[in-house]
């Protein structure tokens, strides 16, 4: 079926099947590849995007369920990496291989949207679903805290 | 499958392929868009106006003083796209802010073997890269001296400028390059005194940082080619099985599915894929749906491992034999018989998966005169060779583009997925992206071998006088059909601490298995370190001495011992002693901790790096373990990028912790049981302890850094658990054990 998706403030008209996850529509059809595939089952967070400012796993979100909603991918956070969370990520130099980081950043933005000043335990709880195989967890935590200090919501 | 990364690099600076002015098009390299020149111009703007001159295969300089440095090896998160260019930039005296990094083409004639594995990238390229930078610097100075008609020794360099010391005249490298490339580079240029290093030794951020946080960095899976189709393979569930019959009618009825066909059966030496069926579709999701609809039957394999218990039985029966002796010093039997105290223990390790965060994939376009491949690989030249064999094209017609890579960990030393993609492209004659699902990635991984270590020690007058190790595992080299030394990737005969024991016996038994195995971060060491590190702790407790004291006693008067495996040629026990003493000092070493709190120590020598760790844990009465803090002291010689080194040791520790606490692949009904991270738990953010990393002896020669942090973790955690609860863990992962106490 033909649906309209509003991604990063642009509207795209795409042909999808009923069960087609948003992840594959974003990656294969809209060709925004910053959103990553890793587990495909909602278990790792690599595919996290914002739906109306809430962090969601795009691999288990049917595309047809998010018509008429504001979808934001990593490419839509800012043009050149100037969103406060991205800035914090750069200041701390978080990534190793980088593969999980779009999802980590989007999830962190989702957290700070809800809770501008999370405690360490709240960060742990909110970021628990995002696996970093390279083990950048200590730096992720530091970057979320830094973003929160600097006012991570935008 | 053959071992293939033994080739050494014999490239000389003077013979590096050189160039001249590159007309027109230049691929943009990687840079931070916020970086600026001293005059305030952004690198982005400068790039747009750059007119490049090739100096040699490693360096290009633009008229506006931008410098492109080539990153010769694949980046798997270990930081070489940053650290290796730093080495050249330093000797070149380049302004790091104006350095743009570009990934090398795959060509061993130009760059030597470009594999990344065994923590060797830094070590094996360090000298050549330094000389490359220094030789170009000398050429630029010559060009300036000639321009000014002054002697060469009156000129110096600084931040991409040549300066005439007396007159303070300045020319940029960009202004001098065209003239400079006419000189022949010197084979033995004068290298900097380490005290003058201006780029290396200083913490630098990743060159890809901006691209990562904006989602622009292109991993293999992100490759997009016009008219490309997507493919998945339905593979035989286990090595040794074959396709019996199948029906693809339902699959072909799925929207977007284009074709289903048979992969060729692996027959040749270079057939590193596993056969099975291919589904080709318009997009990834259709391929996934289509594959689910295929009906298939496979043949039964012969001699397969039926279950994990079956494998353990095989291990145990092998351990009853004597095994192949791989090291014998003094007379173990007599010494053991004559000792006051005899200790014996066995340590068991399961298969472990690599779980690269980016599943395997490769994109291939076969054209009339060339074959283009985009792949996340640790062995680009091996992929190139495979492609030439499979397509029949000359090696020079094959272009392997190394993409960004979502984790290596040794998995991408295998090229099975690249081979699949090349076969499929050859068959369908269309651009194709072959990808694996997470489930494929688990089921068709080449696991870290499972095995058991059986250890014995004899103590006399408080000293370890006899040590016996009998190890059995599912050997990587046997699986690869390289049978001469099946133990060579499993256990190292010169490892510390056994090597210091005067009566030593070490034996290995190969346990036959059809489960695919290969190297995983710190191969061999990620297993032996658990056994040796735990056993030493057991001995100390039996003797009632502090484990660190026991190590220091064993070391005694420090000395250098020949070390014959990778990481040699010697093992320096002074360096062991130094990291042990330093970790003792850096952590706050506590005595008489309350019940539930514990500290554990371990040391391991891995591929030339010396790492000692001290782990703090807390175990609740109900048996919930929290690893609180891990303090590590590493001696890996000179640090190129201290920030990168720190994160590699820290990342290795987290990886080690995951292997210790969580990781286990099991076999049931002849198949791999785990399919995704719900049944294969992975370390999460709340499980990550505070990690405190220190480096010592940073004037020593450069070693690698990617693997060294991992090995000592398992023993240190289990030793800490023992300290906390009195429970000794002799098999991994820890999560299988009941740690409760009252
Ligand atoms: S890919 Fe969506 S949660 Fe893992
Ligand atoms: S940086 Fe590699 S998976 Fe997180």
The partner residue sitting opposite B77, judged by closest CB among A29, A35, A134, is A134
Ligand 1 centroid vs A23 CA: distance in angstroms? Answer: 9
Percent of chain B with pLDDT over 70: 94
Ranges of H-type helices in B169-302:
173-180, 209-213, 249-252, 284-292
B129-168 exposure pattern, b = at least 16 Cβ within 10 A, e = fewer? bbbbbbbbbbbbbbbbbeebebeeeebebebbbbbbeeee
Task: Name the residue in chain B with its Cα closest to that of A141.
Answer: B685
Nearest CA to ligand 1 atom 3: A42
Q: Is the confidence at residue B3, as pLDDT, over 60?
A: no
The C-alpha of B713 sits at a distance from chain A's nearest C-alpha, in angstroms, of: 14
Q: Is the confidence at residue A150, as pLDDT, over 70?
A: yes
Whether A70 and A108 share a structural domain: no
Would the CB of A102 count as within 6 Å of ligand 2? no
Whether A94 and A56 share a structural domain: no
The partner residue sitting opposite B407, judged by closest CB among A73, A90, A133, is A133
Torsion of CA B11, B14, B16, B21, to 10 degrees: 170
Examine the fold and report which residue of A44, A75, A106 is the final residue of a domain before the chain moves on. A75
Whether A45 and A96 share a structural domain: no
Tell me the average pLDDT of chain B.
93
Would the CB of A134 count as within 6 Å of ligand 2? yes
The C-alpha of A92 sits at a distance from chain B's nearest C-alpha, in angstroms, of: 9
| B82 three-state secondary structure | helix
Contact present, B414 and B1 (Cβ < 8 Å): yes
Higher pLDDT, B106 or B20: B106
Q: Is the confidence at residue B5, as pLDDT, over 70?
A: no
Ligand 1 centroid vs A57 CA: distance in angstroms? Answer: 6
Ligand 1 centroid vs B373 CA: distance in angstroms? Answer: 26
Contact present, A1 and A9 (Cβ < 8 Å): no
Q: Are residues A90 and B357, on separate chains, in Cβ contact within 8 Å?
A: no
Reading the block at residue A149, the tokens are: 């200090």
A43 CA closest ligand 1 atom index: 3
Q: Are residues B685 and A24, on separate chains, in Cβ contact within 8 Å?
A: no
Lowest mean pLDDT among A123-137, B35-49, B512-526: B35-49
Whether A70 and A123 share a structural domain: no
Tracing tokens 């006899």 back to the chain, one arrives at: B466
Containing H/E element for B657?
helix B642-661
CA distance B459 to B346: 18
Whether A57 and A14 share a structural domain: yes
pLDDT tens digit sequence for B418-438: 999 999 999 999 999 999 999
Torsion of CA B207, B209, B211, B212, to 10 degrees: 130
pLDDT tens digit sequence for B437-489: 999 999 999 999 999 999 999 999 999 999 999 999 999 999 988 878 999 99
Reading the block at residue B536, the tokens are: 């030493």
Q: Count CA atoms closer than 13 A to B152's CA, side-chain side.
A: 7
CA distance B65 to A88: 30
pLDDT tens digit sequence for A8-21: 999 999 999 999 99
Q: Are residues B284 and A105, on separate chains, in Cβ contact within 8 Å?
A: no
Higher pLDDT, B515 or B241: B515
List domains and CATH numbers for chain B: 29-213 (3.30.365.10), 220-300+360-435 (3.30.365.10), 308-352+447-736 (3.30.365.10)
Examine the fold and report which residue of A75, A95, A124 is the final residue of a domain before the chain moves on. A75
Ligand 1 pocket list (CB less than 6 A):
A 37-40, 42-47, 57, 59
Asked whether residue A145 is assigned to any structural domain, the reply reads yes
- Cα Rg of chain A (Å, integer): 15
Helix, strand and coil content of chain B, in percent to the nearest 5, comes to 30, 25, 45
Confidence band of B31 (pLDDT split at 50, 70, 90):
low
Render A61-114 in DSSP notation, one character per residue.
SBGGGGTTSEEE-HHHH-SSS-SHHHHHHHHHT--SS-TTHHHHHHHHHHHHHH
Domain span including residue A59 = 2-75
pLDDT of residue B2: 36
Pocket test for ligand 1, best of A35, A36, A44 (most atoms within 8 A of CB): A44
Asked whether residue A128 is assigned to any structural domain, the reply reads yes
Mean pLDDT across B22-34: 47
pLDDT of residue B38: 66
Confidence band of B16 (pLDDT split at 50, 70, 90):
low
pLDDT of residue B593: 87
CA distance B369 to B395: 11
Whether A70 and A37 share a structural domain: yes
Asked whether residue A154 is assigned to any structural domain, the reply reads no
Ligand 2 centroid vs B371 CA: distance in angstroms? Answer: 30
Ligand 1 centroid vs A36 CA: distance in angstroms? Answer: 8
The partner residue sitting opposite B654, judged by closest CB among A27, A97, A137, is A137
Whether A51 and A89 share a structural domain: no
Q: What are the E-state strand segments in B15-84?
A: 52-56, 59-62, 67-71
Prediction pTM value = 0.95
Whether A69 and A95 share a structural domain: no
Number of domains in chain A: 2
Mean pLDDT across B501-518: 96
Q: Are residues A33 and B437, on separate chains, in Cβ contact within 8 Å?
A: no
Q: Is the confidence at residue A153, as pLDDT, over 60?
A: no
Q: Are residues B676 and A96, on separate chains, in Cβ contact within 8 Å?
A: no
pLDDT of residue B18: 57
| B402 three-state secondary structure | strand
Contact present, B117 and B378 (Cβ < 8 Å): yes
Q: Are residues B214 and A100, on separate chains, in Cβ contact within 8 Å?
A: no
Whether A119 and A62 share a structural domain: no
Tracing tokens 């004639």 back to the chain, one arrives at: B109
Confidence band of B4 (pLDDT split at 50, 70, 90):
very low
Asked whether residue A142 is assigned to any structural domain, the reply reads yes
Which of A136, A138, A8, A153 has the alpha carbon at shortest distance from A87? A153
pLDDT of residue B591: 74
Asked whether residue A52 is assigned to any structural domain, the reply reads yes
CA distance B137 to B162: 9
pLDDT tens digit sequence for B75-123: 999 999 999 999 999 999 999 999 999 999 999 999 988 999 888 888 8
A37 CA closest ligand 1 atom index: 1
- Which of A99, A109, A119, A136 is the mutation pick for testing B, counting most B CBs within 10 A? A99
A40 CA closest ligand 1 atom index: 1
Reading the block at residue B255, the tokens are: 């929207």
Would the CB of A127 count as within 6 Å of ligand 2? no
Taking each helix axis as running N to C, give the angle between helix A101-114 and helix A84-92, from 0 to 180 degrees, rounded to the nearest 10. Answer: 130
Q: Is the peptide bond before B45 cis (omega within 30 degrees of 0)?
A: no
Within 10 angstroms of residue B313's Cβ, the number of other Cβ atoms is 12
Domain CATH code at residue A112: 1.10.150.120
Asked whether residue A129 is assigned to any structural domain, the reply reads yes
Taking each helix axis as running N to C, give the angle between helix B573-586 and helix B547-555, from 0 to 180 degrees, rounded to the nearest 10. Answer: 160
pLDDT of residue B6: 36
CA distance B726 to B741: 9
The answer to whether A150 faces chain B, any CB pair under 8 Å, is no
pLDDT of residue B264: 87
Q: Are residues A98 and B77, on separate chains, in Cβ contact within 8 Å?
A: yes
pLDDT tens digit sequence for B220-276: 999 999 999 999 999 998 877 889 999 999 999 999 999 999 998 887 766 788 999
pLDDT tens digit sequence for B662-700: 999 999 988 999 999 999 999 999 999 999 999 999 999
Would the CB of A136 count as within 6 Å of ligand 2? yes
Confidence band of B45 (pLDDT split at 50, 70, 90):
confident
Asked whether residue A16 is assigned to any structural domain, the reply reads yes
Q: Are residues B77 and A90, on separate chains, in Cβ contact within 8 Å?
A: no
pLDDT of residue B14: 62
Q: Are residues B357 and A131, on separate chains, in Cβ contact within 8 Å?
A: yes
Whether A110 and A55 share a structural domain: no
Whether A97 and A135 share a structural domain: yes
Asked whether residue A24 is assigned to any structural domain, the reply reads yes
The answer to whether A28 faces chain B, any CB pair under 8 Å, is yes
Whether A12 and A63 share a structural domain: yes
Q: Is the confidence at residue B7, as pLDDT, over 50?
A: no
Which of B652, B545, B557 has the alpha carbon at shortest distance from B601? B545
A132 CA closest ligand 2 atom index: 4
How is the beta sheet containing A2-7 ordered, strand by strand? A10-15, A2-7, A70-72, A48-51, A54-57
CA distance B85 to B204: 11
User: Among all ligands shown, which has an atom nearest to the Cα of A23?
Assistant: 1
B271-310 exposure pattern, b = at least 16 Cβ within 10 A, e = fewer? bbbbbbbbbbbebbbbbbbbbebbebebeebeebbeebee
User: Among all ligands shown, which has an atom nearest to the Cα of A27?
Assistant: 1
* Bridge pairing between strands B229-234 and B277-281: antiparallel
pLDDT of residue B11: 57
Q: What are phi and psi of B664, to 5 degrees?
A: -160, 125
Q: Is the confidence at residue B23, as pLDDT, over 70?
A: no
Examine the fold and report which residue of A17, A45, A75 is the final residue of a domain before the chain moves on. A75
- Which of B284, B357, B626, B679 is the mutation pick for testing A, counting most A CBs within 10 A? B357
A95 CA closest ligand 2 atom index: 1
Domain CATH code at residue A31: 3.10.20.30
Mean pLDDT across B34-56: 82
The answer to whether A60 faces chain B, any CB pair under 8 Å, is no
């Amino acid at each position: 079926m033909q649906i309209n998706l509003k991604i990063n403030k642009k509207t795209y008209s795409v042909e999808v099947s009923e069960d087609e996850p948003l992840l594959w529509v974003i990656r294969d059809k809209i060709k925004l590849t910053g959103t990553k595939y890793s587990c495909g089952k909602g278990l790792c967070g690599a595919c996290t995007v914002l739906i109306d400012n809430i962090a969601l796993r795009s691999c288990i979100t049917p595309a047809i369920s998010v018509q008429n909603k504001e979808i934001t991918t990593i490419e839509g956070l800012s043009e050149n990496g100037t969103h406060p969370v991205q800035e914090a990520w750069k200041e701390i130099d978080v990534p190793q291989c980088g593969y999980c980081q779009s999802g980590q950043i989007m999830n962190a933005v989702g957290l700070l949207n809800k809770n501008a000043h999370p405690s360490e335990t709240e960060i742990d709880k909110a970021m628990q679903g995002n696996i970093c195989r390279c083990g950048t967890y200590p730096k992720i935590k530091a970057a979320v805290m830094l973003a929160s200090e600097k006012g991570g919501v935008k | 499958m053959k071992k293939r990364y033994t080739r050494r690099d014999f490239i000389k600076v003077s013979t590096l392929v050189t160039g001249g002015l590159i007309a027109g098009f230049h691929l943009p390299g990687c840079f931070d868009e916020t970086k600026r020149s001293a005059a305030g111009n952004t690198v982005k703007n400068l790039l747009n106006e750059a007119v490049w001159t090739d100096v040699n295969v490693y360096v290009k300089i633009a008229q506006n003083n931008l410098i492109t440095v080539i990153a010769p090896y694949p980046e798997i998160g270990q930081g070489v796209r940053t650290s290796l260019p730093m080495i050249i930039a330093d000797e070149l005296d380049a302004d790091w802010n104006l350095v743009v990094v570009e990934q090398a083409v795959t060509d061993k004639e130009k760059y030597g073997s470009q594999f990344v594995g065994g923590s060797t990238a830094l070590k094996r390229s360090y000298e050549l890269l330094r000389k490359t930078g220094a030789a170009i610097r000398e050429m630029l100075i010559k060009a300036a001296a000639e321009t000014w008609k002054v002697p060469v020794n009156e000129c110096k360099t600084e931040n991409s400028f040549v300066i005439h010391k007396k007159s303070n005249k300045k020319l940029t490298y960009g202004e001098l390059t065209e003239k400079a490339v006419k000189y022949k580079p010197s084979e033995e240029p004068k290298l900097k005194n380490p005290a003058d290093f201006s780029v290396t030794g200083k913490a630098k951020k990743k060159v890809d940082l901006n691209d990562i946080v904006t989602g622009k960095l292109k991993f293999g899976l992100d490759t997009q080619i016009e008219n490309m189709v997507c493919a998945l393979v339905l593979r035989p569930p286990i090595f040794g099985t074959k396709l019996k019959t199948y029906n693809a009618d339902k699959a072909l009825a799925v929207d977007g599915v284009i074709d289903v066909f048979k992969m060729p059966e692996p027959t040749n030496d270079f057939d590193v894929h596993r056969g099975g069926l291919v589904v080709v579709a318009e997009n990834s999701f259709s391929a996934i749906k289509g594959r689910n609809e295929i009906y298939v039957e496979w043949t039964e394999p012969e001699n397969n491992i039926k279950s994990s218990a079956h494998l353990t039985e095989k291990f145990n029966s092998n351990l009853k034999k004597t095994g192949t002796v791989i090291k014998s010093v003094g007379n173990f039997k007599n010494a053991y018989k004559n000792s006051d105290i005899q200790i014996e223990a066995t340590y068991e390790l399961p298969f472990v998966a690599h779980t690269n965060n980016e599943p395997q994939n490769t994109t291939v376009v076969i054209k009339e005169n060339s074959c283009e491949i985009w792949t996340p690989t640790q062995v680009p030249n091996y992929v190139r060779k495979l492609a030439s064999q499979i397509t029949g094209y000359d090696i020079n017609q094959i272009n392997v583009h190394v993409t960004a890579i979502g984790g290596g960990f040794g998995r991408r030393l295998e090229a099975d997925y690249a081979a699949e993609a090349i076969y499929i492209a050859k068959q369908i004659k269309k651009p194709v992206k072959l990808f694996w699902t997470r489930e494929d990635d688990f089921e068709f991984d080449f696991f870290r071998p499972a095995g058991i270590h059986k250890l014995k020690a004899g103590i006399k007058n408080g000293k370890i006088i006899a040590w016996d190790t009998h190890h059995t595992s599912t050997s990587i080299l046997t699986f690869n059909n390289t049978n001469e030394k099946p133990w060579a990737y499993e256990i190292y005969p010169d490892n510390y601490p056994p090597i210091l024991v005067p009566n030593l016996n070490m034996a290995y038994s190969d346990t036959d298995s059809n489960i695919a195995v290969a190297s995983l971060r710190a191969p061999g060491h990620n297993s032996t370190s658990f056994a040796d590190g735990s056993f030493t702790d057991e001995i100390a407790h039996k003797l009632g001495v502090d484990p660190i004291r026991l190590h220091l006693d064993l070391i005694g008067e420090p000395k250098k011992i020949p070390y014959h495996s990778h990481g040699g040629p010697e093992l320096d026990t002074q360096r062991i002693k130094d990291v042990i003493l330093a970790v003792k000092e850096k952590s706050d070493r506590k005595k008489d901790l309350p019940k539930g709190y514990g500290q554990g120590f371990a040391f391991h020598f891995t591929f030339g790096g010396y790492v000692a760790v001290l782990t703090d844990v807390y175990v609740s009465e109900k048996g919930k373990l929290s690893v609180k803090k891990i303090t590590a002291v590493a001696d890996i010689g000179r640090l190129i990028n201290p920030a990168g080194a720190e994160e590699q040791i820290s990342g290795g520790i987290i990886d080690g912790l995951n292997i210790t606490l969580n990781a286990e692949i099991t076999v049931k009904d002849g198949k791999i049981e785990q399919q995704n991270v719900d049944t294969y738990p992975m370390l999460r953010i709340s499980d990550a302890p505070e990690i405190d990393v220190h480096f010592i002896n940073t004037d020593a020669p450069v070693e690698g850094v990617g693997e060294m942090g991992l090995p000592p973790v398992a023993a240190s955690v289990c030793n800490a658990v023992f300290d906390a609860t009195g429970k000794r863990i002799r098999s991994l992962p820890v999560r299988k054990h009941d740690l409760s106490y009252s």
